[in-house]
Amino acid sequence: MVIGIHAKGAFKYERTGVEEYVFQLIKHFAMLDESKNHIFQLYTSHTHNTLFLPYHFQVKRLYNPLFWTNGRLSLNMLFHPPDVLFMPANFLPLFYPRKNVVTIHGLEFEYYPEAFSPDYLEYLKRGTKKTVDRAHKIIVPSFATRDDLVTFYRADPKKITVIPHGVNPQIAYHHRYPPIDEKYILFIGRLEKKKNVKSIVKAYAILKEKYKVSHKLVLVGAPGFGYDEIQKEIEDTIYKTDIIVTGYISHEEKESFFKYADVFVFPSLYEGFGMMSVLESQLRQVPVVSSNIPSIKEIAGDGAMLVDPHSVAQLTEAVYSVISDDDARKKLVEKGLKNTQKYSWYKCAQQTLATLVS
């Protein structure tokens, strides 16, 4: 069978979220014995490549500066369709083979439309509705996302398969020295409105004022929608000199920040899966404070302290309890590490490939 994959994200150097998802899937597809029975055509416009793939993985570079998915990829589907097309992020191209599989990671735009620009919001809603109606099969990373698709778009549950993401293993990298000299509270993710980063900054100011904590706050990630509001929140606090914004960092640098963090904070307003950061933190034995939203509760299990993401007070007290109580910290770390044993990219790749070929 010829399996076509929209693989642009896998060939980006600065990968986040969905891009890391498709990168890990392709990487682990190549490790599966059963993948040798198929030809994988990886469609991309990027030339950067850190993937070392066997002979039955063929990189097809389709050049087109504008409308790549609905233009260049669609034409390729029209004249040279694979047996099945895998779209790892929400949308199908204008032309697509009858047998197709689409991953829909979450419907945050339905819950928090104010976190998106009006044009992009309309694009997401219209495109997702079309995808739900036209997709042959749909993969979702959590039961929470499956339920959302049924609720908002009346999706047929029979064509939805729940396949959780994996967790990135620790990189064999020598971290002889911490990235900063002081203790710190860590957030890793896109610095955007839906990640609720403003609440982290507000909680941090209370921690400094009320509890006189000595920790710095480290915000790791590229700017996203609403970043200007986050910047203003930082500028308005008298503790702004204790807040470090790194921008995007390499995977090796991220390992270093995880290794020396006292607590990982992730109070996102909505996630389809919570993506990888919560599990990565648990694997690296860093205690987690996160949202009590359905997907996070589903994925993090009892290995995280969960709070109402709309309550800065709850977030503040949870972070303080973790950094001030060694027993609570130890229990969270033990439960978190145990929780990660349920997730692997190898298992995710196996289940995804089985869905593609069935």
Which position has the token pair 């495109």?
Answer: 127
In this structure, is residue 267 part of a structural domain? yes
**Same domain, yes or no: 194 and 325:** yes
In this structure, is residue 201 part of a structural domain? yes
Q: What is the amino acid identity at position 203?
A: A
**Same domain, yes or no: 202 and 280:** yes
In this structure, is residue 177 part of a structural domain? no
Cβ atoms within 10 Å, residue 327: 7
Can you give the residue range of the structural domain that contains 59? 2-166+344-357
Q: For the chain, what is the domain count?
A: 2
In this structure, is residue 329 part of a structural domain? yes
Q: 284 is written with which tokens?
A: 């690296």
Between CA 317 and CA 325, with CA 319 as vertex, the angle to 5 degrees is 90
Which stretches of the chain drop beneath a pLDDT of 70?
A: 47-49, 170-176, 273-275
What's the confidence (pLDDT) of residue 335? 97
CA distance 198 to 191: 9
What's the confidence (pLDDT) of residue 333? 96
What's the confidence (pLDDT) of residue 273? 61
In this structure, is residue 21 part of a structural domain? yes
**Same domain, yes or no: 221 and 244:** yes
**Same domain, yes or no: 96 and 234:** no
Q: Which of 272, 273, 251, 274 is nearest to 264 (CA)?
A: 274
For the CA atoms of 67, 69, 75, 81, the dihedral, rounded to the nearest 10 degrees, stands at: 180
Angle between helices 227-236 and 197-211 (to 10 degrees): 10
**H-run or E-run covering 216:** strand 216-220
**Same domain, yes or no: 209 and 161:** no
Q: 121 is written with which tokens?
A: 């919001």
**Same domain, yes or no: 329 and 350:** no
Task: Give, in order, the Cα–Cα distances in Å from 139 to each of 4, 125, 184, 256, 300.
Answer: 16, 18, 37, 33, 20
**H-run or E-run covering 258:** helix 251-260
In this structure, is residue 59 part of a structural domain? yes
In this structure, is residue 175 part of a structural domain? no
What's the confidence (pLDDT) of residue 173? 57
**Same domain, yes or no: 287 and 188:** yes
CATH of the domain at 124: 3.40.50.2000
Cβ atoms within 10 Å, residue 249: 17
**Same domain, yes or no: 269 and 314:** yes
Q: Which of 304, 296, 286, 306 is nearest to 185 (CA)?
A: 286
What's the confidence (pLDDT) of residue 17? 79
Task: Give, in order, the Cα–Cα distances in Å from 12 to each of 17, 34, 44, 269.
Answer: 12, 27, 10, 27
What's the confidence (pLDDT) of residue 51? 78
Produce one character per residue of 183-215: b if its CB has 16 or more CB atoms within 10 Å, e if not.
ebbbbbbbbbbbbbbbbbbbbbbbbbeeeebeb
Question: Phi, psi (5° rounding) for residue 139?
Answer: -105, 135
**Same domain, yes or no: 224 and 126:** no
**Same domain, yes or no: 333 and 351:** no
**Same domain, yes or no: 110 and 30:** yes
Half-sphere exposure of 51 (CA within 13 A, CB side): 29
Beta bridge pairs of residue 184: 216
**Same domain, yes or no: 219 and 110:** no
In this structure, is residue 305 part of a structural domain? yes
CA distance 317 to 289: 10
Cβ atoms within 10 Å, residue 91: 19
What's the confidence (pLDDT) of residue 277? 87
CA distance 142 to 163: 7
What's the confidence (pLDDT) of residue 170? 66
